[in-house]
Structure 1
């Protein structure tokens, strides 16, 4: 068998790995886009071509819905893939709305591209292949091939190949994937971590204990960092709201991924308002995608943790409260700028790469009474990372802006496990039984630190693959 890493190799995004069995059967684990190489002028899919023949892939296994794991699935079908996608039911529903949203974004960018091309204007900064951008129809064709698999069910893909999806935390429906292969009278097992969640995270159940595997593929997003404690997240959000919206008063802007992070932030705010720990400050939830995601979280609330299920039973809803207002249309979003009282604005995307958050940032960047609270990871090169690391100014498009707003950052809402969570995941493997550990989905510094950490625990054959690196397993 061969294991090839086609993405998230020494970087955080673009997860994509291929397991090729001895009989030639190809299993693609995740099919994500590379967010780290996007610029503010680039489309969301800068590289549509695959480094392999899509027609030869036999089955796709999807760990969870985030675009850096799912975002190129329609491209796969456009290039001739005819197989199925196996994932959990929540992952299927969340992937659909994410991919539909991406298709709409791509078509807007394609329209701008064609308009400039028709007028003879420069198109040098466009790095995508126009024919490879997909439509909502392509997304629909893709999602028709999804086969939902229950958590913890051992599913027989074909003779000699079994797959089990295990709850990983991180996001509704997210899974570790355990693969069992029997070939040539030999049995081998593989454990793909996907994105590892955290214990006691808002809404989500804890990651489950995982079985012993011969080969482990582990993400390392926070392989060299510890998070703020989850128990502090509510206090942290309460404090920043008090400083920004009560003591000043001003406006708090929270860039958050529409799926996962927004729900965690809204849930914590809802709890604070219900407990009368905050006055009824207006909260604008400005993301149609987040509203769709809220409905999916409510629908699958039976998969959430005990606190969330009890809160929903007591309050009828996880995310709807008296002082929240959802911005449905673009005009509703722009009208928020005219609101003169203290308020909270939650909008996507979390890395500021597209979405309505950009005009909120642009409108408030020079406002000393505004605070931008970064609640998630921003890959290097993204607008979010540039705002986080700004030196008093920030370029958006062709304009350069002074940064007078306050920039704060917290990792207490990060859905990714920190170095202790990652170590716990690895420590469930007997160091005398695991054959090899591959580290992926992390920046090089993080990977090196985590490699040294687990080697000090006695684990051997720990490898950091490069893109295209193939291993005989």
Structure 2
């Protein structure tokens, strides 16, 4: 029985862990590295295992850094069964097809640029990491749909169950119950863990005592701001910006964050804290589709969201909310000089329509950019948050004069206290592997864990006997 860490080891993206037992190879997640160009090159690199030899892929949730390399895995020979919850299945389809489309667009753009600079045909051709056809082939590998806390048999001596992780719609912690050579082990993979007491989704539900825990540490070294002051901070940022005559740009993650912000904007309008006439634009085709998927999966909702549905209310319906799917509709938003909230992807500003809105608003002192999510090192969002004087967008250096707000209380990740509380509910595991975090966050979190568990911070491609 062996585990090898092929991603999110000493880093926050690219989750990918391989378990080998009973002559089966089981992959937990297969995500993209996100951040700088160097990490993008990692995505195209070798997996360090044979994709064709993988029997099962257990997907914790549909964020790109957990599912984004599945089409490449399929392209390189994977034909095993992918198992996920129903909501994750739908969201992963959306995310992988969108990523494939962006990959193809980026490759075309690089080919045109190379051709303009006089490179030969062979040099000028850029190839996408994978195509939409690859993504569709990957979707065909999805097999059984997991229900929370309902065990599924994978093979002789191997059983899996998915447990609500409270992170995004359909997110799960994955428990493997393995019996090999008469030796039984319960091995739990946290996936990404959400905050307790959030709207829309239920709190994380770990499955009880485990022998080995593999857990994320994204915020292992800090506590989040309280939620209600963060909501008030959002409302105040909108009020102040409108008084200055500008627009509010919110770089938004399409899954969970967009829906949560819509939830609070609806509450703000209903309570009178925000004007009923507030124009809100969700300028992200993927976030629009994700919101529709959210509406189809109330089985993931918490009591508050279910109560709204029982009263005939849509948790995400704001009176003046407009969806802008088409590129022409998105460009037309540039004609609105002030008084609007524009939510656009991507959350870390690495791509998507938000970059066009930043180009039109970063230099304006009357506008605001409001960050409501995590920004990894090396991303444009982190550079803005860290106080850069300008940001290069579409070949131009755009001065940063807009008011920048960073609101930490909306994080979809558990903070240090929540992570410790979740770990305590896994019993007294013999070993705890820390992944999916910056090295400093991991080290800080490791010091907080009980001495009864052996804590390890694996390096990339490191393997361990369980």
TM-score, L = length of structure 1: 0.93
Query: Is 1:76 equivalent to 2:68 in the alignment?
Result: no
> What secondary structure does 1:417 align onto?
coil
Q: Which moved more, 1:215-224 or 1:142-151?
A: 142-151
> What secondary structure does 1:438 align onto?
strand
Runs of 4+ off more than 6 Å: 42-45
Map of 1:222 onto structure 2: 219
Deviation at 1:267, TM superposition (A): 0.8
CA distance in 2 between partners of 1:317 and 1:429 (Å): 35
Q: Given that residues 48 and 129 in structure 1 are in contact (C-alpha distance below 8 angstroms), is that contact kept between their aligned partners in structure 2?
A: no
Deviation at 1:45, TM superposition (A): 7.9
- From 449, 456, 462, the counterpart of 1:463: 456
Q: What number of residue pairs does the alignment pair up?
A: 462
Q: 1:376 to 1:121 in 2, by over 3 A?
A: farther
> What secondary structure does 1:342 align onto?
coil
Map of 2:290 onto structure 1: 293
Q: Which moved more, 1:283-292 or 1:302-311?
A: 302-311
Map of 1:326 onto structure 2: 323
Post-superposition CA distance 1:20-62 (Å, at most 9, x none): 11x43111000000003347xx969842531211111111000
Q: 1:328 to 1:440 in 2, by over 3 A?
A: same
Map of 1:437 onto structure 2: 432
> What secondary structure does 1:197 align onto?
coil
Q: 1:211 to 1:259 in 2, by over 3 A?
A: same
Q: 1:121 to 1:423 in 2, by over 3 A?
A: farther
Deviation at 1:2, TM superposition (A): 1.1
CA distance in 2 between partners of 1:109 and 1:49 (Å): 21
CA distance in 2 between partners of 1:383 and 1:368 (Å): 19
Deviation at 1:118, TM superposition (A): 4.9
Q: Given that residues 48 and 133 in structure 1 are in contact (C-alpha distance below 8 angstroms), is that contact kept between their aligned partners in structure 2?
A: no
Query: Is 1:56 equivalent to 2:53 in the alignment?
Result: yes
Q: Given that residues 371 and 406 in structure 2 are in contact (C-alpha distance below 8 angstroms), is that contact kept between their aligned partners in structure 1?
A: yes
Map of 1:272 onto structure 2: 268
Deviation at 1:230, TM superposition (A): 2.3
Correspondences of 1:203-214 after superposition (within 5 Å):
203-214=200-211
Q: 1:38 to 1:378 in 2, by over 3 A?
A: farther
CA distance in 2 between partners of 1:122 and 1:63 (Å): 43
Correspondences of 1:16-415 after superposition (within 5 Å):
16-21=16-21, 23-38=22-37, 46-118=43-115, 121=118, 130=127, 133-146=129-142, 147-245=144-242, 247-279=243-275, 280-415=277-412
- Give structure 2 stretches of 5+ with no counterpart: none
Post-superposition CA distance 1:72-118 (Å, at most 9, x none): 00111111111110110000000000111111101111222333455
Q: 1:253 to 1:27 in 2, by over 3 A?
A: same
CA distance in 2 between partners of 1:181 and 1:305 (Å): 31
Q: Given that residues 47 and 129 in structure 1 are in contact (C-alpha distance below 8 angstroms), is that contact kept between their aligned partners in structure 2?
A: no
Post-superposition CA distance 1:331-367 (Å, at most 9, x none): 1111111012311111110000100000001110110
CA distance in 2 between partners of 1:43 and 1:209 (Å): 33
CA distance in 1 between partners of 2:387 and 2:325 (Å): 31
Deviation at 1:142, TM superposition (A): 1.3
TM-score, L = length of structure 2: 0.95
Q: Given that residues 48 and 72 in structure 1 are in contact (C-alpha distance below 8 angstroms), is that contact kept between their aligned partners in structure 2?
A: no
> What secondary structure does 1:19 align onto?
strand
Post-superposition CA distance 1:132-165 (Å, at most 9, x none): 6222222222112212111110111111000010
Map of 2:9 onto structure 1: 9
Post-superposition CA distance 1:272-311 (Å, at most 9, x none): 1122221122111100111100110001123211111222
Q: Given that residues 430 and 452 in structure 2 are in contact (C-alpha distance below 8 angstroms), is that contact kept between their aligned partners in structure 1?
A: no
Post-superposition CA distance 1:230-258 (Å, at most 9, x none): 2334322222212222x323211110101
Post-superposition CA distance 1:193-222 (Å, at most 9, x none): 000111111211111143211110010000
Deviation at 1:120, TM superposition (A): 6.1
How much is the aligned-residue C-alpha RMSD, in angstroms?
2.1
CA distance in 2 between partners of 1:251 and 1:227 (Å): 27
Q: 1:49 to 1:273 in 2, by over 3 A?
A: same
> What secondary structure does 2:269 align onto?
helix
Q: Given that residues 244 and 371 in structure 1 are in contact (C-alpha distance below 8 angstroms), is that contact kept between their aligned partners in structure 2?
A: yes
Q: Given that residues 8 and 15 in structure 1 are in contact (C-alpha distance below 8 angstroms), is that contact kept between their aligned partners in structure 2?
A: yes
Deviation at 1:444, TM superposition (A): 0.6
